[in-house]
Amino acid sequence: MYDYLVVGAGLYGAVFAHEAKTHGKSVLVIDKRPNIAGNVYTEKVEGINFHKYGAHIFHTNNTTVWNYLQQFATFNRFTNSPVANYKGELYSMPFNMYTFNKMWGVVTPEEAAAKIEEQKKEITGDPKNLEEQAISLVGRDIYEKLVKGYTEKQWGRECKELPAFIIKRLPVRLTFDNNYFNALYQGIPIGGYTKMVANMLDGIEVRLGVDYLENKKEMDALAEKVVYTGPIDAYFGYQLGYLQYRSVRFENEVLDVPNFQGNAAVNYTDRETPWTRIIEHKWFEFGKDENGNDLPKTIISREYSSEWKPGDEPYYPVNDEKNGKLYEQYKKLAEAESKVIFGGRLGEYKYYDMDAVIASALKCATEQL
């Protein structure tokens, strides 16, 4: 009946489906959730575009991806400048001159660089774990206050047990630039991500509340090929064992105040505070509604990181050596499935930013269509 069955209405599935339709292919998109857009789903609450599955801030250096998205959304000029709260002390993120001034009282880049260099000497040789990597980048003081507690809550492991490469994504700047992402393009789709994905899926048949794996035989019979964006180990019935993920739990509150924390994201970097961060959703769109009016209420989400277990939503693949080896075994099984394309964060067991998901889907579409 269809050329392609796309399993998952998130970014990867929506981009592939759009491209397939553009190439004259018949497409059916299914998703087990009651909504499209996967983890970038936003819904309107009290006039605010609420990021239901956690904050998503689009950023990219990929001009092709940025230009591609312009047909589906207009982006605002939101810049991600999170604040770190360590036991009531507030620090600018990413680590920049504001951070170093607050931490050590230094005023010039030269003074800050000297302080960091002095503290980095503690690590000799190649860093063997995340703790050593962080200290070799920013020194002991910043590691202890702004990295250690947050990272251990995020990953559920001691920093000494985590691989060094995780912390290489953290920018360190000897300027007063507090834009977290060093990207050419950045912003939030005006009207929310759901509207953007709906535009991608315009004119395509979508069925929601359909669990592919529970109805696999019946669903497979509907199409020549399947694009599967769910967890790769679930597809194979976990026959080789479970891949590990980190999951996130959200506590959401609508508050009858116009401003709770004055910023979209505040990270709580001490180990004792149980949540990793608080998101205040209205600040992704400058506290205004579509007509530029101030919004009288606010919505906050406290995020709690947890170990994934079956039934939870998988968020972050745990890309360590053990899981890497298990994924390679699943990948071999996947390669033997001639009718199925495995894609996206869960299908490829990969930590993907949004732009990389879109680039991957476009590459796949180019190869297939």
Enumerate the active-site residues: 169, 173, 246, 277, 303, 351, 353
Neighbouring C-alpha atoms within 13 Å toward the C-beta of 179:
12
Q: For residue 353, which amino acid is it?
A: D
Helix, strand, coil tally for the chain in percent (to 5): 35, 20, 40
CA angle 301, 303, 307 (to 5 degrees): 150
Read off φ and ψ for residue 22, nearest 5 degrees. -60, -30
* 94: preceding bond cis by omega (within 30 degrees): yes
Beta bridge partners of 252: 301
Inter-helix orientation angle 130-142/97-104, to 10°: 60
Beta bridge partners of 249: 304
Helix, strand, or coil (residue 348): coil
Give the Cα separation of 244 and 173 in Å (integer): 33
